[in-house]
Amino acid sequence: MQSFKEAGPQLTSVRRLGFTRRPNRDETFDSICERCLRTIATGKSNMELPEIEQAHACDHADLQKTLHQAGATYIRVQLEAILQSAKKGR
């Protein structure tokens, strides 16, 4: 039987402006956009990731996919608002 500590890295996510940081085994972090659920960057420090996160713009196709998959109501509401405002902009 494995103890909790041996089960693997804990998902100690650092939340920052709609991005989730997921620690990897090699001391890098994956930065995942919480709106399109895309892994937008993998970086070694919290210094280089914010820059990439700021430059990220969600892909429309990704948002549609996420909307389709999202079970949670609050995500649906958020995404529908984003998609609607994007439509109006055209």
- Judge contact between 44 and 28, C-beta under 8 A: yes
Q: In angstroms, what is the minimal distance from the CB of 13 to Zn ion?
A: 16
d(CA 38, CA 53): 11
Q: In angstroms, what is the minimal distance from the CB of 56 to Zn ion?
A: 6
Which position among 19, 29, 31, 33 is part of the footprint of Zn ion (CB under 5 A)?
33
The first and second tokens of residue 78, run together, are 């958020």
Query: What is the three-class DSSP state of 83?
Result: helix
> Using CB under 5 A as the criterion, what x/- string covers residues 34-53 for binding Zn ion?
-xx-----------------
Q: What residue ranges bind Zn ion (CB under 5 A)?
A: 33, 35-36, 58
